[in-house]
Amino acid sequence: MLNHPPNPRPKPKPTPLHLLSLSLSLSVSLSLISSSHSSDSLSLLAFQSKADPYRALPYPPNPSPSPCHWLGVKCNRGGRVVRLVLTNLPLRGTLPPNTLTGLDQLRLLNLRNNSLTGALPDLSPLSHLRALFLDHNSFSGRFPISVLSFPRLRSLDLSHNAFSGPIPDALADLPDIHYVRLDSNRFNGSVPALNQSSLIVFNVSRNELSGAVPVTRALSRFDGSAFGFNPGLCGRIVGTECGDERASPFFRPWVAAAPAPATSNALDQQLHRNAPPPPPPPLIRRKRESRTGLISVFSVLSLVLIGCVVSLLLLGVNRRKQERLKRVPMLHKRAVSVSDFGSEIRVEEEKINNNNNNNNNNRNMNNSNDKTKEAVKSGNLVFCAGDDQIYTLEQLMRGSAELLGRGTIGSTYKAVLESNVCATVKRFDGNKTHVTSREMFERHIVSVSRLRHPNLVPLRAYLQARDREERLLIYDYQANGSVFSLVHGSRSTRAKPMHWTSCLKIAEDVAHGLAYIHQTVRLVHGNLKASNVLLGSDFEALLTDYCLTVFARPPSPEHNMDSYAGYKALRFKSLVTKSLPSLMFMLLVFSCWSYSLVKHHHNNPF
């Protein structure tokens, strides 16, 4: 007897009730997705209304169903915003509260290199945030405590802003943090004891931090540059013994002083409120305003008085120069030929050779009494006498180059070799230099390379290609930059107010270097300016770009000769007297002092 398989169970037919429930669930899901998209759009438009008053962002005026195609926005598969990258835009407003916090799925927020101002709002609703980049803006206020509530935060960059107050110790409790940059702000207090094994990048330089740097396994991996320009820091990592109360010779002595201690409860309340301290009472404010007026009047009168004295001294010096110039043919009365420049270079070489041989009239450089080493050649790269060959021309050419600036005779680059050795390379520009023979160029550069003084950047090597079109000078790289970048700031650093003793020390170093050039070897610097005064490893002033104006292309006769300082310096070098270094010293001291006074009075009127 055959066994027939049982009949399959018939599928239940969908009833109207089932269809109704399915349609309701689909409609609810679609409404939730639509509301989420609409919420993200509204949050972005609310952010634009305050952060972008000039409408640089091409966002639509009305919220669209999905903002995923908007500029800088990236969404996940569900259509929610997870990345917002708005960099290098003219955003000149503020970061308003309750706007971006509506993007509750946001993982990356990057607003770097804009002009946003004001304090940061509470960002704690962004619980999924992993990277926050707000550097190179003008944010102010206290450290945003809300970022410490992000358990998945890995990257935090608040550098190059105007944040102030202490850095909270809770920063050391973020388990996955690996990138922290808080440099170039106004943070004070101590450095938190970060010890996360994931920490790869850390920088708190150029702040107002003080105290001992904690010696943890994580912080010990970073050198002193990560803590630099904090005059109050000490400890093994920064190489300064704690307990040394000596004032920093380059910054205000009160920078390292911590503010008046407040109770922990009051401090915590201020941090969480993210608000500045309350204003002083009206009576104290009136007294301070009166004191401010008196200080302003006294400062202006002092500057006017010193300016009059300097003007009188300069007038006397100019009169003496004019009397001597009557015996010298005026430079602008005739066109200048290339042969004139050649004769000037020869005169320079003869005088510097005489001075470096202790007034020995024998100009034979191969004299048996000359104990200097012969120049070491590496291909076309010639190392100056007495200097060791630390790299070859091939290594120099393979290194990376960064443009530092352009000068009167060419461009200056920072070269980083494969061995991490840094050098400064000055490349001559054929459009800015006149034609000289190979022998004439080499004789003058060899003479300049013998200049050795604690306040001069030494010339280490030079290169002259066979076709005479490529000429390079190699100097030691000075990582601390120039006096100009210290006083006025640069693209990557903020200006720092200098103390009076710092100005005096820099001016004294410059005067010593000029005295050596002008009096000892009877040459002229020819291109003295703040950008050509570098700061050494101990922040001593070092003159660079000296004695090179002999190569500058002569100006045409129709040009105003008074505007060509380098050429005038070469022609009138015989007028350098003993009064010039002292006059230059006085002018530098006056410039640094007046800037320091005005800057300090502007930032700290009391």
The rounded distance, in Å, linking the Cα atoms of 417 and 211 is 36
Q: Is the pLDDT of residue 128 over 90?
A: no
Highest-confidence segment of 23-37, 248-262, 417-431: 417-431
Q: Residue 552: which residues within 8 A CB-CB, separation 6 or more? A: 408, 409, 432, 433, 434, 566, 567, 570
Residue 369: the pLDDT is: 41
Chain segment 76-109, per-residue pLDDT in tens:
888 889 999 998 888 888 988 888 888 888 999 9
Give DSSP secondary structure letters for 466-487: TTSS-EEEEEE--TT-BHHHHH
DSSP class of 240 = B
Mean pLDDT computed over every residue of the chain: 71
Q: Which of 245, 155, 250 is nearest to 500 (CA)?
A: 250
Confidence of residue 252 (pLDDT cuts 50, 70, 90): very low
Give the N- to C-terminal CA distance of the chain in Å, as an integer. Answer: 113
The mean pLDDT value for 29-50 works out to: 68
Tell me the backbone φ, ψ of residue 377, rounded to 5 degrees: -105, 140
Helix (H, G, I), strand (E, B) or coil at 309: helix
Residue 56: the pLDDT is: 81
Percent of residues in the chain assigned helix, strand, coil, to nearest 5 = 35, 15, 45
The mean pLDDT value for 127-135 works out to: 92
Residue 40: the pLDDT is: 79
Angle at 485 (CA atoms; ends 484, 486), nearest 5 degrees: 90
Which H/E stretch holds residue 324? helix 282-325
Chain segment 451-510, per-residue pLDDT in tens:
888 899 888 888 887 655 678 888 888 888 888 888 777 666 666 666 777 778 888 888
Q: Which of 601, 514, 586 is nearest to 307 (CA)?
A: 586
The rounded distance, in Å, linking the Cα atoms of 450 and 445 is 9
Q: Residue 349: which residues within 8 A CB-CB, separation 6 or more? A: 443, 444, 447
Q: Is the pLDDT of residue 173 over 50?
A: yes
Q: Which CATH code of 3.90.1150.10, 3.30.200.20, 3.40.605.10, 3.40.640.10 fits the domain covering 328-365+373-603?
A: 3.30.200.20
**Residue 525 vs residue 348, higher pLDDT:** 525
Q: Is the pLDDT of residue 209 over 60?
A: yes
Q: Which CATH code of 3.40.50.920, 3.80.10.10, 3.40.50.300, 2.60.120.680 fits the domain covering 35-251?
A: 3.80.10.10
Of all residues in the chain, the percent with pLDDT exceeding 70 is 58
**Residue 482 vs residue 376, higher pLDDT:** 482
Q: Which of 489, 433, 438 is nearest to 462 (CA)?
A: 438
Q: Which of 422, 428, 387 is nearest to 401 (CA)?
A: 422
The rounded distance, in Å, linking the Cα atoms of 249 and 311 is 30
Domain spans in the chain, listed from the N-terminal domain onward: 35-251, 328-365+373-603
**Residue 380 vs residue 147, higher pLDDT:** 147
Residue 239: the pLDDT is: 85
Residue 180: the pLDDT is: 95
Residue 137: the pLDDT is: 93
- The length of the chain, given as a count of residues: 606
